[in-house]
């Protein structure tokens, strides 16, 4: 649905303003989205701890539990 709407909107814009201006507008929107992604990652960085090795005796690999 969204893809179809974007295609129709792109076609209407290119008819109204010309293909060069429509392409430039699309490139500007990509830049704005990239800036928003960078800003959101700086505001709330994703921190994932490093995995720790298994030291418990009670845990078995998946292959041994199946048999």
Query: How confident is the model over 10-40, as pLDDT tens digits?
Result: 899 899 999 999 999 999 999 999 999 988 8
Residue % of the chain over a pLDDT of 70: 70
Whether residue 12 contacts residue 25, with contact meaning beta carbons closer than 8 Å, is answered with no
pLDDT at 58: 66
pLDDT at 67: 53
- Provide the CA 67 distance to its chain's centre, in angstroms: 41
CA distance 1 to 4: 5
């Amino acid at each position: 649905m969204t893809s179809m709407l974007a295609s129709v909107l792109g076609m209407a814009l290119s008819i109204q303003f010309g293909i060069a201006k429509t392409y430039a507008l699309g490139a500007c929107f990509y830049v704005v989205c990239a800036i928003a992604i960078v800003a959101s990652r700086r505001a709330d960085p994703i921190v994932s701890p490093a995995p720790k090795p298994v030291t418990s005796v009670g845990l078995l690999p998946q292959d041994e539990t199946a048999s």
